[in-house]
Structure 1
């Protein structure tokens, strides 16, 4: 089966509702390719490696979390950006990218899927009675948990994600009863997580200020990797849409230790 590009775009937009978000770049179709789409590849970032792998897979479209265009770019199509776009256009491949809308989807998004991988009880998005969100645009999630301390939680995260995590805590003996998380580069949400009553916070990255806040506030901070925390939403959303539209789908993992 196949679907026309604009029909596929309409399905993704209807599912992810990008109009609800103030984002750092354009959501939706970023590079236009062929009109008829039969095979779609999903991945985390529209890197050259992913594009080349999609070409080898004979993809008609690529769906990613991190696209090619961001606020603050100077607009010149040179160097690495020119090469990625050249490959897409030479092979007539569509590139679709959804940033914050992919983080936020209540079942298939990055935060929901990370919660599922970690075995957390979901149903924590806005509008669900008795649960809460936090942070800018309510992107962060909260859940009640039972971990003896932050070290046990960090070990669990490392086992599930298959990579080393950075743990900072002012109280390594404190039981973890309320957990906050937001995938990717959401270290700036740490203060909001603390204000929401979290005993620990999981995100992808840590910056210098969060180490001091964790120690001073007694709230644990776990940096588990930007890529590692955000590699579940894109394949979940794309698999859902591909099944709905009768398309072939393949997730391609491009390893990234960051």
Structure 2
């Protein structure tokens, strides 16, 4: 299919124009016009780019792309090497950040909820990205941690009373601990995100609300993979998701 057709479809599907983001969403580096093979991954790292070259991919689709607000705008060093590899091999780079977090079916939060059998009951936070929900039955904080470890293949950091029962859950993938205080005001029993800071350990303990750091990368694998599978099925293109190990 044509690059312009795929880009237009994804921009509309993810409602890109609705979001105020920290980076450009959509086509970040332009390559060849015909798209037959797509590689997806969480971050457009050099390793992912090299894997795409080896796979003779036409397009790379990621959650974490380039040109973030506040970064050095000069195309030098690491940025130059990455972009040069894309241009030399005529490979397109598409990146979707907050729009991919928020999509009601294919988004990172929706997909993480599916993986962990959460039943969504609402949204909250800036641009309604974070999710509220519950499990089909009450379990302890420790049992929830065991479930997360089994599903994500990563041991989570658990703050709080591990024997406490979990009824109401809030979650937001990646680096979303800024939503923790709002989650507390919404009377949840636990907030799950990708990574946390020292200060929120004290907030968790003093407010009596559980806090789980399940991994930035680990919580954000599922949205871009689901998106790749979706376009492969819809348009008949080849798709491969590459999960580059990242302990954070």
TM-score bin (small chain): over 0.9
1:157 aligns with 2:148: yes
Correspondences of 1:7-156 after superposition (within 5 Å): 7-121=5-119, 124=120, 131-145=121-135, 146-156=137-147
Q: TM-score w.r.t. structure 1 length?
A: 0.94
- Of 31-40 and 236-245, more deviation after overlay is shown by 236-245
Q: Aligned equivalents of 1:11 and 1:192: distance in 2? A: 34
Is residue 213 of structure 1 aligned with residue 211 of structure 2?
no
Number of aligned residue pairs: give it.
247
- RMSD across aligned positions (CA): 0.9
- Long gaps (5+) in structure 2: none
Structure 1 alignment gaps of length 5 or more: 125-130
CA distance in 1, matches of 2:10, 2:184: 34
Residue equivalent to 2:162: 172
User: Corresponding residue for 1:127?
Assistant: none
Cα displacement (A) at 1:183: 0.3
Q: CA offsets per residue over residues 191-248 of structure 1, 9 Å max, x none?
A: 1111111100110001111101100011000001000000000010111112211211
User: TM-score scaled by structure 2?
Assistant: 0.97
